[in-house]
Amino acid sequence: MKLMMIAAAALVAGAAQAQDVHEGRLLYERHCATCHGLDADGQGPMAPALVLQPVDLTELALNNSGTFPMARVVKRIDGRDPLVSHGSPMPVYGELFDGDDTPLKAETGQPIMTSRPVADLVEYLKTLQK
């Protein structure tokens, strides 16, 4: 049992290092910047048309006691934790971002499974934190 836990931890640690920030940036620019803005400040060109304004993605960690909310961000992107915006859910990109199952290390230390594209996108968002 202990060996299984060590192996799982090594898998999560290895996967966290293997994310492609450049690919995450491209995904962000293609799918997220319209609402959240190129600077991820929530001031995208579609923001004025939305009932609920997009959040400033550069302040996710700041607004979470300095810890990047990995599990919440992954679940918002892939649709497990829907967010209502403009009278309907935030576009759910989980299916669009399908790919190899990839474990990420949540802020609790537990692994959270997601697709490779979502993992890349989340890794990029981590680089934007103030």
Asked whether the CA dihedral 43, 44, 49, 50 is positive or negative, the reply is negative
Residues 106, 121: Cα–Cα separation, whole Å:
15
Cα 45 from Cα 52, distance rounded (Å): 14
Cβ neighbour number for residue 125 with a 10 Å cutoff: 24
Structure tokens at 114: 């997601």
Domain residue ranges in the chain: 2-127
Q: What is the pLDDT of residues 7-50, one digit of tens each?
A: 444 444 444 446 899 999 999 999 999 999 999 999 999 999 88
Dump pLDDT digits (tens) for 77-99.
887 877 665 455 566 666 677 77
State the pTM of this model: 0.79
* Whether the Cβ atoms of residue 123 and residue 20 lie closer than 8 Å to each other: yes
Q: Classify domain 2-127 by CATH number.
A: 1.10.760
CA–CA distance, 69 with 106 (Å, rounded to integer): 8
